[in-house]
Each structure stands twice: as structure tokens, then as C-alpha cells.
Amino acid sequence: MSLLAKMDAAITAKDEAAMNEIIHDDYKFTMHASGNVLGKADVIKWAMSGDINRDKVRVIYENDEIGVEHAFVTFNDGNTEAVMAVYKYQDGKVISLETGATKIPK
């Protein structure tokens, strides 16, 4: 199973142990729409909160160094965004994630 498939399954199942295995300890998540940068613990906590509801997830490209996916993400506040995500891999784990998001009108 690819890292993107493992990550998707972990987020969907809210599987904290799996996320800890998949995400590198030096992980950085850069959200270009807001400018926020989160670390591993912050992202796992956010994923466990149930605020990330992904739909129509599709892998654009993936190899041993990088993964690119697109998804529609709806948050608990009712906002939905089209999100393009670029994952970088190191040591068989996700070391970084950068996203660009476009708000979808309600």
C-alpha cells in the first residue's frame, strides 16, 4: 500500500497509531492558504478531532520521494475547500506536506 493510501486510511479511521507510524518525527505541514505551519503532534491532534472530512480524494502522482493528491475537504464549521497537497517522503515516512486550497462557496 502506498504512503498516500496509508495516510488516507489513517485519517479516515482516526487511527492515531497508524499516523504516528506514517508521519516522520521532523514533519512540517505548510498551509499556503493561511500561512500556518504545523508539526507532527499538531496534525495528529487535528486529524483525531474529526475536523478533517475528505471526499473525492484522488492521487495525481506518487513515487518513493513524493506524493501529490487532490481532495475536497469539509471542516466542522461548514467550510469546504478544494485542496491540492504535495507530500515529500523521507526514510519511508511523510516528512512534509504543503497544501494550496480554494474555498468552495456554500
Q: Answer yes or no: is pLDDT of 39 > 90.
A: yes
Rounded Cα distance, 82 and 84, in Å: 7
Q: Answer yes or no: is pLDDT of 56 > 90.
A: yes
pTM of the full structure: 0.90
CATH code of the region 3-104 = 3.10.450.50
Residue corresponding to grid cell 506518487: 62
pLDDT value, residue 33: 73
pLDDT band, residue 72 (cuts 50/70/90): very high
Rounded Cα distance, 69 and 87, in Å: 8
For residues 87-95, give the mean pLDDT. 97
* Residue 11 buriedness (CB in 10 A; 0-12 / 13-18 / 19+): buried
For residues 43-60, give the mean pLDDT. 92
Rounded Cα distance, 97 and 50, in Å: 19
Count CB-CB contacts under 10 A for residue 69: 21
Q: Which amino acid is at 86?
A: V
Q: Answer yes or no: is pLDDT of 35 > 80.
A: yes
